[in-house]
């Protein structure tokens, strides 16, 4: 069922979970929907608005800011109380937690990215910002992913007052993606 042009909802009832995809966030609604298959209630996926930085005019705002605004807008539109953020989506959900009154009671941050991807939202991760005390957080990491090191998931969980689950690499455990989804569902379905 389409909520509007770029938001797709599955299931019905409460809780409502918004799923913020990773990667380019375009054209992968089916992949995002797979993360909601085992969840109770309503699951909402969306595609990020496409912004071409080469167009004339002022430069677009930072990606994480724009992504956070979209996560927050979708969450408000559908009444979401839970969120799943994968990679890029994990940064967007982190930005929502850093910048807005907390709309979520439970959050799963799947393979948060390394490097400078968190930008100014690092305040939550370096101790200069307040961790959201009223939000239950699970960070999921996977060994062997250089762009999303397991240590990053561990650090995010510690700094945000959440829990962490580190899974083996996809080379060692071909079914690790299913295991990550199961951990996500177990946490959000409590």
Give me the DSSP letters along the chain. Answer: -EEETTEEEEE-SSSEEEEE--TT-SS-HHHHHHTTTT-SSEEEEE-PPP--TTSSSSPPPPHHHHHHHHHHHHHHHHT--EEEEETHHHHHHHHHHHHS----SEEEEES---GGGGGGGGGGTTTSS---TT-EEEEEEETT-TTS-HHHHHHHHHHHT-EEEEE--TTT-TTHHHHHHHHHHHHHT-
Domain count, the chain: 1
Band of the pLDDT at 3, cuts 50, 70, 90? Answer: very low
Residue 55: inside a domain:
no
| Tokens of residue 152, six digits | 């990053």
Residue 54: inside a domain:
no
pLDDT: which is higher, 40 or 130: 40
Residue 80: inside a domain:
yes
For residues 133-162, average pLDDT = 92
Residues 177, 164: Cα–Cα separation, whole Å: 16
Residue 30: inside a domain:
yes
Residue 57: inside a domain:
no
What was the pLDDT predicted at 42? 97
Residue 32: inside a domain:
yes
For residues 6-19, average pLDDT = 93
pTM above threshold 0.75: yes
Q: Is the peptide bond before 15 cis (omega within 30 degrees of 0)?
A: yes
What Cα–Cα distance (Å) separates residue 94 from each residue in 43, 116, 124, 129?
19, 14, 8, 12
| Tokens of residue 25, six digits | 């966030």
pLDDT digit string, tens, across residues 38-69: 999 999 998 877 655 555 566 555 577 788 88
Rg (CA), the chain: 16
Residue 161: inside a domain:
yes
What was the pLDDT predicted at 118? 78
Residue 163: inside a domain:
yes
Q: Could you tell me the residue range of the domain that residue 79 belongs to? A: 2-49+62-188
Residue 164: which CATH number?
3.40.50.1820
Residue 2 scores a pLDDT above 50:
no
């Amino acid at each position: 069922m389409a909520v509007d042009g770029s938001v797709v909802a599955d299931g019905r009832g409460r809780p409502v979970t918004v799923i913020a995809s990773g990667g380019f966030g375009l054209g992968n609604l089916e992949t995002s929907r797979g993360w909601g298959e085992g969840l109770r209630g309503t699951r909402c996926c969306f595609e990020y608005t496409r912004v071409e930085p080469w167009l004339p005019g002022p430069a677009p705002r930072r990606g994480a800011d724009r992504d956070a605004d979209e996560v927050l807008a979708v969450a408000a539109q559908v009444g979401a109380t839970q969120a799943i953020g994968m990679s890029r989506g994990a940064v967007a959900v982190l930005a929502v937690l850093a910048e807005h009154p907390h709309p979520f009671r439970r959050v799963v941050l799947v393979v948060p990215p390394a490097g400078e991807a968190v930008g100014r939202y690092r305040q939550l991760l370096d101790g200069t910002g307040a961790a959201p005390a009223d939000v239950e957080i699970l960070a999921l990491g996977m060994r062997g992913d250089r762009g999303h090191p397991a240590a990053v998931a561990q650090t995010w969980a510690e700094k945000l007052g959440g829990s962490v689950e580190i899974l083996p690499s996809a080379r060692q455990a071909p079914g690790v993606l299913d295991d990550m989804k199961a951990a996500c569902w177990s946490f959000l379905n409590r």
